[in-house]
Structure 1
Amino acid sequence: REFESEIRFYSGHDPLDVWDRYIKWTEQTFPQGGKESNLSAVLERAVKALNEQRRYYQDPRYLNLWLKFGDCCNEPLDLYSYLHSQEIGTTLALLYITWAEVLEARGNFKKADQIFQEGLQRKAEPLDKLQSHHRQFQMRVSRQTMLELEESSDETDTGLLGAAEPQRSSLADLKGRGKKKVRAPISRVGEALKATNQNRSFQTFTSQQLSNNPGFAVFDENSASGLEIPVLTPQPWAAPPVPRAKENELSAGPWNSGRVRSLKRPRSSANSGVEVPCPLPSFTPYVE
């Protein structure tokens, strides 16, 4: 309220000072921003209220208000173009540095370098700060270009290695080949493939030498006329196996659905002194 009343009844020669202090107080009071700070609305009011004051166009305080307002906008690049067209902050290095950083973040390195070059041609102040940021920008672009070249060369080398040396697929489904005689497939790559070819040529040479000997045949896993794998036929049991002896094993039988009858002792009359004898049970208990 104090700042609002000071802005309303201000009669001094530097109204920008009041807005600048008002913005700084808002940022310090509400460092997290949000709706409570109402910072974007205050910034919009400040730049509009001072828009007719051309003496502030090259003032760093006024440019700082515009750049903070640009952070609240959806498209800050449009705001920077507007500032450039209105000659607001065009002699200050902060405009070109902020503009180029946004373009660099979006990957438009060529346009960012053009913004830096324009600021250097205008000799925006402070010039040493602008030159320092431009050198750092060039180093980042050069580093990014080198990384992209290394990644592309690595991908090319990987492609060439993959074409020259095929990789064996692991955990793949094995599909048998052949209709009558199913054989498991053999997958070899690299040195194993070369060794297999050498063994195959040696086996061919050996089979030619021993073709006249009918006593045995050389086994070739890759030839179509290989030896048949013997098939195991099930043999019947001579007698069923004896089961294990189980503890507390009961023979099968019907469940007893009868109820246990309880023996009730007849009540004796309290008045009569004659004791009624208890009935004898209908079964004989077993005594060891």
Structure 2
Amino acid sequence: MADVFDDTEPPIVDGDLLEAAKENIQPLAAGRRVTALSAILSTPHAQRESRLAAARTRLRINVDLALADPDDPDADPLDAYSRLVAWTVENYPQGHSAESGLLELLEEATRVLKDDRAGRWRADVRYLKLWVLYAGYVEKPAIIYKFCLVNEIGTAHALLYEEFATVLERAGRKAEADEAYLLGIARKAAPVERLQNKHREFQKRMMSSINAAAATTTPEPAAPSASSSSSTRRALAEASSSSSSSSSRTRASRTGSARTPGQLATPSPAPSVPRPNGRMQVFVDPSGADAENDPSAAAPWPELGTRKSRVKENVPEVRKAAGTTLRTAGRSSRAASGSRIPVYRDPEPGAAAEMPPPPVPSLASAPAPAAKKSALVVFRDEEDGADAPATPAFTPYRDEEPSSPTHAASATAMRPKAVGPHKNVLGLTEAEALRKDPFKNYEAGERPADE
């Protein structure tokens, strides 16, 4: 903020100003500086935009200079991108918007630095933090962390497994979240002590949820005693009548008298209650284990791919058109037949047994309708060229055209609206497209082939 608002006087924070704008401030886990928020919100909008644009231009120049020479060992494009992202987050309290362009900036930084300098930044925790921040703005963040695991991005840091497990736990995929914790502990991701503490807290939450689910299940009520005059029953339970209860007591007394004194009644086994949230055993194919653990083998998932390739289950299957019937829209009109169907009539007494078919009328022999004579007589002027004056032709008025026109007149005043740089043909902004497909700007050769 020092390069944007240069004030020599000590900062004075206006609490009323922050209270009025608190709904437009996005909270951060690390918190925000009150002095920076006060300086931003107290500046008029026009001056604020000009100062922020000047600071953004300086930081963008630093990024371009760092990326200009790939062979320069002192250049650090990751540090330049990290400074630009941190400045954007601090100076735009509302988070991502059209003015800040934070989502587009994160997508650019993660894509450009992925293969920069032969993948030098993949093991850097600053690069991993950019991916974590980017995953917080997309619709499906779990796919971002899977992409990082496959491409060995930040796999030596515990932050990757903690964030991945948190996303899976929020989605209700608790078994996969446990596997993410165990994977990070097995790889000894630093700091491993913090990752183990997170895993223990996760297990406590899972046990508490299991105990809460078991407590909510009510046990079946005991059988009513013989001394009770009236008994209550649960909803949708079978009603017990006095006759059935008396007959059951009679059968119980007979059974008890038939037993010998040395024999004891064996209680009936209680029905087994299924354990809530129990794990389902997943079949694991033993074949191909050596190929998966081979470190020299190429990554099976080099790129994330498009959203279309990931939702291929929703694409209808292509079938052959042979033997199918295509239906046209609207009612099907029947073609008019040229001849009528002869109606069968019973023969009269003394007539022929068979009735001859009626003759088919031909269009050629049909007489043409006679033209009606019109009794209306059209009035015509007498042709006399000498006496009748000549009628001058009508000439419409036109504006005088300039002798040297500057531009040609367009055929129509309506012009098609040009698509802006931030919108595509479908009408989605760049940010909306990145939320649905985080890797839409990857090159065509880097994308996997559609199955």
Residue 108 of structure 2 is aligned to residue 45 of structure 1: yes
Residue 29 of structure 1 corresponds to 91
What's the offset of the Cα at 1:120?
0.4
- When the two structures are superposed, what TM-score results if normalisation uses the length of structure 1? 0.54
Secondary structure of the corresponding residue to residue 98 of structure 2:
coil
Q: 1:1-288 to 2 correspondence within 5 Å?
A: 1-10=57-66, 12-33=74-95, 34-53=97-116, 54-151=119-216, 153-154=217-218, 156-157=219-220, 165-166=232-233
- When the two structures are superposed, what TM-score results if normalisation uses the length of structure 2? 0.35
What's the offset of the Cα at 1:5?
1.5
1:187-215 superposed Cα distances (whole Å, 9 cap, x missing partner): xx9xxx99xxxxxxxxxxxxxxxxxxxxx
Q: Does the C-alpha gap of structure 1 residues 2 and 104 become closer, same or farther in structure 2, counting only changes over 3 Å? A: same
The one of the two structures with greater contact order (alpha-carbon pairs below 8 A, sep at least 6) is 2
What's the offset of the Cα at 1:35?
2.5
Secondary structure of the corresponding residue to residue 31 of structure 1:
coil
Q: Does the C-alpha gap of structure 1 residues 132 and 167 become closer, same or farther in structure 2, counting only changes over 3 Å? A: closer
- 2:201 counterpart letter in structure 1: Q
Secondary structure of the corresponding residue to residue 89 of structure 1:
coil
1:52-105 superposed Cα distances (whole Å, 9 cap, x missing partner): 131211111000001111111111111111111101111110000000001111
CA distance in 2, matches of 1:160, 1:19: 72
- 2:141 counterpart letter in structure 1: P
State, as a whole percentage, how many aligned pairs show the same letter.
32
CA distance in 2, matches of 1:50, 1:160: 71
What's the offset of the Cα at 1:158?
7.5
Give 4+ residue runs of structure 1 displaced > 6 Å after superposition. 158-161
Structure (1/2) with the larger helix percentage: 1
CA distance in 1, matches of 2:85, 2:63: 12
Gaps of 5+ in 2: 1-56, 225-230, 243-451
- 1:42 counterpart letter in structure 2: L
Q: Does the C-alpha gap of structure 1 residues 167 and 96 become closer, same or farther in structure 2, counting only changes over 3 Å? A: closer
1:244-273 superposed Cα distances (whole Å, 9 cap, x missing partner): xxxxxxxxxxxxxxxxxxxxxxxxxxxxxx
- 1:19 counterpart letter in structure 2: Y
CA distance in 2, matches of 1:91, 1:159: 57
Secondary structure of the corresponding residue to residue 88 of structure 1:
coil
1:140-199 superposed Cα distances (whole Å, 9 cap, x missing partner): 011011001101x23x458999xx61489xxxxxxxxxxxxxxxxxxxx9xxx99xxxxx
How many residues align? The count is: 168
CA distance in 2, matches of 1:14, 1:74: 31
- 1:116 counterpart letter in structure 2: Y
Secondary structure of the corresponding residue to residue 55 of structure 1:
coil
C-alpha root-mean-square deviation of aligned residues, in Å?
A: 2.6
Secondary structure of the corresponding residue to residue 189 of structure 2:
coil
Secondary structure of the corresponding residue to residue 120 of structure 2:
helix
Q: Does the C-alpha gap of structure 1 residues 167 and 71 become closer, same or farther in structure 2, counting only changes over 3 Å? A: closer
Greater mean deviation of Cα atoms: 28-37 or 43-52: 28-37
